[in-house]
């Protein structure tokens, strides 16, 4: 089982200090990603946009192709051979995710389209059960739009209010301020595990304990957490945990909502249709058991199987060493970028993960991204779906290099060389 840092303080320490980085063979890992060997604009591709979506190892692509070539049929309702095989594969993927998150039961794993859909599901079911007129939903200032807008919609519908816990200038969540905002009207806390714009790793265990001490359930946006830090839902004791397949080396169109069994049982369904029912008449419908109650219609079987393959692939690596590799690369990148005159890193929380966000002189981030692209270096620029966070930091946008398990020091060097070109062109 993976270890989770036990954080007595707000600052999270580096997870993997004790592991020698050379235990991880990055070149071997890269061979599983044919796309990393392709040229882009006549240059070697340097892919530094994994927070947007990761590349997929060939094992994932092959698992999905195998499913379509050999096992494709609709699940759950068929008595024929292929339907049985497809159902086994789909439910096998659910069990694979259960193991990855260390959830107690496979029925606590709901397949959805991605983190966005998972968070909407919770807002529109659990949220509607809990939140009424005058109540409050507590979030943090570093949330992605998908962990803001569904709650805003819920609050508008219910006559409730969004309350926001602040961060400091480094991007560290102020836990005492968070605690002060948990009051008798707080019905729910939504928090990201890892910030996509800053890389801050929130001390979830401590946050969950604070909230639970006041009877407040916690919904975790794990889109950037699951790929980069241990996500053990029993250890965290969170009520819900959401993540996307495509950010963890799996396919698009598949994601996961983990929910504690007692919550999922109590929640109403949110979409109606096939598979989520036990019986239907024009007078009355009885719903299926969890998790099927939340999976109306034909699910994304190939996506789930691809996600299962991605988790198999990931967990077959020496995980501690892989995390150490990402940490080491982040430290290397932080150091390298800090040496560039006129460049300011945005998000400097201790123990952060996988993200190097920055502003550079007064050069527009889109210009930075465009020049880097000509060098084959793919980064993301903009507000990163975190406009309230950008407002808090007093900037419109950043340039963001984000790391995956396959990145190398050489690629950080290419980023730095590209940034020197940017300076020559604009500064």
Catalytic residue list = 385
Q: Which is nearer to ligand PLP, 178 or 363 (CB)?
A: 178
DSSP class of residue 125 equals: I
Indicate the pairing of strand 240-244 with strand 161-165. unpaired
> Cβ of residue 51: shortest distance to ligand PLP, in angstroms?
6
CA dihedral defined by 164, 165, 169, 174, rounded to 10 degrees?
180
Q: Report the SS3 class of residue 380.
A: strand
Q: Which is nearer to ligand PLP, 51 or 86 (CB)?
A: 51
Partners of 382 in beta bridges: 398
Q: Which is nearer to ligand PLP, 75 or 121 (CB)?
A: 121
> Cβ of residue 119: shortest distance to ligand PLP, in angstroms?
7
Indicate the pairing of strand 398-402 with strand 380-382. antiparallel
Binding site residues, ligand PLP, CB under 6 A: 51, 114-116, 144, 146-147, 192, 196, 221, 223-224, 244, 385
Q: Report the SS3 class of residue 412.
A: helix
> Cβ of residue 383: shortest distance to ligand PLP, in angstroms?
12
How far CA 283 is from CA of 277, 295, 343, in Å, comes to: 14, 22, 65
Q: Which is nearer to ligand PLP, 308 or 418 (CB)?
A: 308
> Cβ of residue 243: shortest distance to ligand PLP, in angstroms?
8
Compute the half-sphere exposure of residue 210: CA atoms within 13 Å on the CB side of its CA.
24
Q: Which is nearer to ligand PLP, 24 or 258 (CB)?
A: 258
Determine contact, residues 89/238, Cβ cutoff 8 Å. Answer: no
Determine contact, residues 268/295, Cβ cutoff 8 Å. Answer: no
Any idea which residue has 């880097």 for tokens?
A: 372
> Cβ of residue 354: shortest distance to ligand PLP, in angstroms?
11
């Amino acid at each position: 089982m993976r270890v989770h840092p036990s954080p007595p303080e707000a600052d999270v320490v580096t997870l993997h200090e004790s592991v020698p980085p050379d235990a991880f063979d990055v070149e071997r890992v890269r061979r599983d990603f044919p796309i990393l060997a392709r040229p882009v604009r006549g240059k070697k591709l340097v892919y530094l946009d994994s927070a947007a979506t990761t590349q997929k190892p060939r094992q994932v692509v092959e698992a999905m192709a195998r499913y379509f070539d050999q096992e494709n049929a609709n699940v759950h309702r068929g008595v024929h051979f292929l339907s049985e095989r497809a159902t086994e594969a789909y439910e096998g993927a659910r069990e694979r995710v259960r193991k990855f998150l260390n959830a107690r039961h496979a029925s606590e794993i709901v397949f959805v389209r991605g983190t966005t859909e998972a968070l909407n599901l919770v807002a529109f079911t659990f949220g509607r059960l809990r939140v009424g007129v005058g109540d409050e939903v507590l979030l943090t200032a570093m949330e992605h739009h998908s962990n803001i807008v569904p709650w805003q919609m819920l609050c508008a519908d219910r006559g409730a209010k969004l309350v926001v816990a602040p961060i400091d200038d480094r991007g560290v969540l102020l836990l005492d301020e968070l605690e002060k905002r948990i009051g008798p009207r707080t019905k729910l806390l939504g928090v990201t595990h890892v910030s996509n714009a800053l890389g801050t790793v929130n001390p979830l265990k401590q946050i969950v304990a604070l909230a639970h001490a006041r009877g407040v359930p916690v919904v975790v946006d794990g889109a950037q957490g699951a790929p980069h830090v241990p996500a053990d839902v029993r250890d965290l004791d969170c009520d819900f945990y959401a993540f996307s397949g495509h950010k963890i080396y799996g396919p698009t169109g598949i994601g996961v909502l983990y929910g504690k069994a007692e919550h999922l049982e109590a929640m109403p369904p949110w979409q109606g249709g096939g598979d989520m029912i036990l019986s239907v008449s024009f007078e009355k419908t009885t719903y299926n058991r969890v998790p099927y109650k939340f999976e109306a219609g034909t699910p994304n079987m190939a996506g789930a199987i691809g996600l299962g393959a991605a988790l198999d692939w990931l967990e077959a690596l020496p995980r501690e060493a892989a995390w150490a590799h990402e940490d080491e690369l982040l430290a290397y990148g932080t150091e390298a970028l800090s040496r560039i005159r006129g460049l300011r890193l945005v998000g400097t929380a201790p123990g952060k993960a996988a993200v190097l966000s920055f502003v550079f002189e007064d050069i527009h981030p889109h210009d930075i991204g465009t020049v880097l692209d000509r060098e084959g270096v793919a980064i993301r620029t903009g507000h990163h779906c975190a406009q309230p966070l950008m407002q808090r930091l007093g900037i419109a946008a950043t340039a963001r290099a984000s790391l995956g398990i396959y990145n190398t020091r050489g690629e950080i060097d290419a980023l730095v060389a590209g940034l020197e070109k940017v300076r020559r062109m604009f500064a």
